[in-house]
Structure 1
């Protein structure tokens, strides 16, 4: 199925990516001392399930894909820094396999498809690698089962090589952004389908199936991650993927799901009421989370500290909890912030980088940070134009997370009106998540599916009124 129109006839810019990594590695990281070095990366290959003749689903090595743009199993790439030359190694044609899976891509076809300087079969790979080693080190991410026979020639795990790869992937080029916009558009349609299909969604698994169905209809055969489809109290589990409980007796739904396109991710969370009507408590928490997102998004632009935005989200939560009576009015916003009492209600970071991985590389997290609100952040940088990230605040009423916070003999219970908290358990949790590109002046929001509670209610109620089945694609 065709992808973004603007990319038709264009190749994934693998050579440009190799040059970008080279630039970081030589000028920013290592100086010119490694100018005669090479990079070598192996892609994934087909692998059988244990005691079976059935292949596991292949997920391409993201670093390999960044330098090659290739999804063909059993491929490898060698990039000579001094010659600025990339060589792609394709697996030999297995004539016995052709009858089962068809003819693989020929070298001639590959030359028209991939942005590399030379393409040969893997039978030439060892000779080429040995020749490259004669001129300098060959850096690789790791020695694995696909390149073990070349181990003596490779230098794996070099921290500066990884840093160069991660810094190169941090800022997305126009080709990558087109892929991500396309993935986001598929995700929008699939989330809309889920909201519209309540007549046939009686179980969390139905929500999961609805999202997958519409994503596949639009050409996305893989998801960026396992969809989180939960109703009621299950929404208090951040990465709930069991997705098999009935929803008919619940009031709330949270779905966190994102389609993938050409190995590039989307990551979107939406919440809605099961019957289309927001309960008082559900809407109160939803509007608090929406305000957390709106206030942080309003400040997003290059040069802004993501730490500061995350801390602002905590302050907005505290303000809403004071108004709702969840936190006791005798304490100031600053006292509540300093106490850490909001941490159990908002236990994760405001967001993370997004790219080929859902939690993409380059964020520079610091799990050793003594600041309790910051040590879990996956993104610890000032924002730069070209970054793609999620803004995803959340509020959760989790018996597990709040167990210590609500202990009668604990330090935190003095800040909380327990009888008010008890009104919110049935919600589970609320999270709102959009995918944002940092631009020169602010941001572009890739996520178009509405988060306005009135519009969400109308979508759900319209679906119920029409009795729409889940087997009609909306696109």
Structure 2
């Protein structure tokens, strides 16, 4: 790993939150992600299953975490299974977790080699009455492959059909949504790396530059600051491309007079950042570009003020829609008749602003977190309004990452990233 070690106290706290919500005599199991093959002897770079990392800090393949608070044997209340390492593996693949290193990383005292899993697990299941399975129930998930977790669940149901089944996801949605101070610090570090990348490209972008060259500049800055790279596939969209919400080809020339939308974020220690900025390719906004840009910025500023404890996510989006409607009227993109005759299920503003304004941020870019209950302090949300005008060859979106506070306005983890028209132009014309 490129990142600095994380204190095991974070993972101890995270496990305590999870086990406190478990039913009596229940056991929970969490598996690492698979290594995914490309072809021949090649695999994709390994990415740890976020729930396993959240609860243990273990960041390698072939790892299993078992939580059993009511175990008769105290040493089996929490157990970590890791792949057995040796000199051969160390030479060919690099250093893996020893039992001692696994304990230091996770704070879990009982560590077994993975080859002992079925034996130890059977002993524990003979005591347990309920097993928590960890399934992905994120509202945007679209998994199309069988995961290591899926295979375990299938095996376990066949092996132990008499056990009651419970869902880990409901506990994790609540727990992961409210961040610990250590997590906020890790997200802030990711945001600071993103800031360095953005300031780098502000002095690099000019007419004639290719979108992929800008992507490369970001990657250069991210890697040299201990990031593994992008937290998600970057969007580097110039001109009309900015109207394609998930444009990731990044293969076009940036032309004089066009705007350039950059939806880019660095990861750090598996934690994500999520930034969007829209800048003029030639370093100067036209009057119309400035007009639309400032309209988006005003919506962003007002939407940010609503991120306080007690706000309901769904109602929040309704209010943001009203703000955007007002701005679109001012820009002449909507008229009063459009609003009066709008479809309540698809309001008039959706023609120019068709996506949501905020989502949870953390170990995943679109992180776990409760959305049907009131917002709470220490939740981290994005704020990302946009206006997309294909007829004008322009799409503008602005996005920062905010920490909700118990009292007062949220903290902007990206407050040092240039945002206003004046700041953008100053940086691009230094």
TM (norm. structure 2) is: 0.87
**Structure 1 position 44 matched with structure 2 position 11:** no
2:131 paired residue number: 138
- Alignment partner of 1:198: what SS? coil
SS at match of 1:342: helix
| Structure 2 partner of 1:461 | 429
Confirm whether residue 115 of structure 1 aligns to residue 107 of structure 2.
Answer: yes
Provide the rounded CA distance (Å) in 1 between the counterparts of 2:384 and 2:131.
Answer: 40
Aligned in 2, Cα 1:352/1:201: closer, same or farther, shift over 3 Å? farther
| Compared CA separation, residues 49 and 148, structure 1 to 2 (3 A) | farther
Q: Is the Cα–Cα contact under 8 Å of residues 141 and 157 in structure 1 kept in the other structure?
A: no
User: Are the equivalent residues in 1 in contact too, given 2:207–2:281 (CA < 8 A)?
Assistant: no
Provide the secondary structure at the position in 2 that maps to 1:309. helix
Please say if residues 107 and 119 of structure 1, whose CA atoms lie closer than 8 Å, have aligned partners that are also in contact.
Answer: yes
Q: 1:435 — aligned with what?
A: 401
Q: Summarize the Cα distance change of 1:9–1:245 in structure 2 as closer, same or farther, 3 Å threshold.
A: closer
* Corresponding residue of 1:445: 412
- After superposition, what is the alpha-carbon deviation per residue over 1:391-420, rounded to whole angstroms, capped at 9, x for unaligned? 11111124xxxxxxxxxxxxxxxxxxxxxx
Report the 3-state secondary structure (helix = DSSP H, G, I; strand = E; otherwise coil) of the residue aligned with 1:102: coil
Contact 1:318 1:337 in 2 (8 A): no
Structure 1 CA distance for aligned equivalents of residues 268 and 165 of structure 2: 30
The offset of 1:320, in angstroms, is 2.3
Unaligned runs of 5+ in 1: 26-33, 365-379, 399-421, 463-475
In the alignment, the residues of structure 1 paired with residue 167 and residue 104 of structure 2 have an alpha-carbon distance, to the nearest angstrom, of 33
For residues 170-319 of structure 1, the aligned pairs below 5 Å read 170-199=177-206, 202-319=209-326
Structure 1 contact 138–154 (Cα < 8 Å) conserved: no
Distance 1:290 1:37, change over 3 A: same
Q: Deviations over 1:226-273 (max 9, x none)?
A: 001010010001111010001134510000011111111110100110
Distance 1:354 1:241 in 2: 21
What residue number does 1:127 align with? 119
CA contact (8 A) 2:207 2:255 kept: no
Q: CA deviation at 1:94?
A: 4.9
Going from structure 1 to structure 2, the CA distance change for 1:263 and 1:327 (only over 3 Å counts) comes to: same
Shift of 1:9: 7.2
The answer (yes or no) to whether the contact 1:126–1:150 under 8 Å persists in 2 is: no
Counting only pairs closer than 5 Å after superposition, residues 48-127 of structure 1 correspond to structure 2 as 48-50=37-39, 52-83=40-71, 85-127=77-119
Cα distance change on mapping 1:101 and 1:457 into 2, 3 Å: same
Query: Normalization by structure 1: what TM-score?
Result: 0.80
Q: 1:159/1:82 Cα in 2 relative to 1: closer, same or farther (>3 Å)?
A: closer
**Any conservation in 1 of the 2:283–2:429 contact (CA below 8 Å)?**
yes
Contact (CA 8 Å) 1:231, 1:250: kept in 2 or not? no
How far 1:331 sits from its partner (Å)? Answer: 3.9
Output one character per residue of 1:399-454: Cα deviation in whole Å (capped at 9) or x when no partner: xxxxxxxxxxxxxxxxxxxxxxx4xx221x11110101111013111012021111
- The equivalent residue for 1:13 is 10
Answer with 196-205 or 251-260: which moved more: 196-205
Aligned positions of 1:406-445 closer than 5 A? 422=391, 425-427=392-394, 429-441=395-407, 442-445=409-412
2:422 is paired with a residue of what secondary structure?
A: helix
- SS of the counterpart of 2:29? strand
Q: Deviations over 1:330-369 (max 9, x none)?
A: 54966669582111211011110111111111244xxxxx
After TM superposition, the structure 1 stretch with the greater mean CA deviation from structure 2, 195-204 or 172-181, is 195-204
In the TM superposition, residue 59 of structure 1 has moved relative to its aligned partner by: 1.5
2:146 corresponds to? none
Contact 2:359–2:366 (CA under 8 A) maintained in structure 1? yes
- Offset at residue 105 of structure 1 (A): 2.8
Rounded Cα–Cα distance in structure 1 between residues aligned with 2:324 and 2:203: 30
SS in structure 2 opposite 1:67?
helix
Are positions 1:162 and 2:169 aligned together? yes
Q: Which runs of 5+ in 2 are unaligned?
A: 136-148
Could you say what secondary structure the match of 2:58 adopts? coil
Q: CA RMSD in A?
A: 2.6
Once the two structures are TM-superposed, the CA of residue 224 in structure 1 deviates from its matched residue by: 1.3
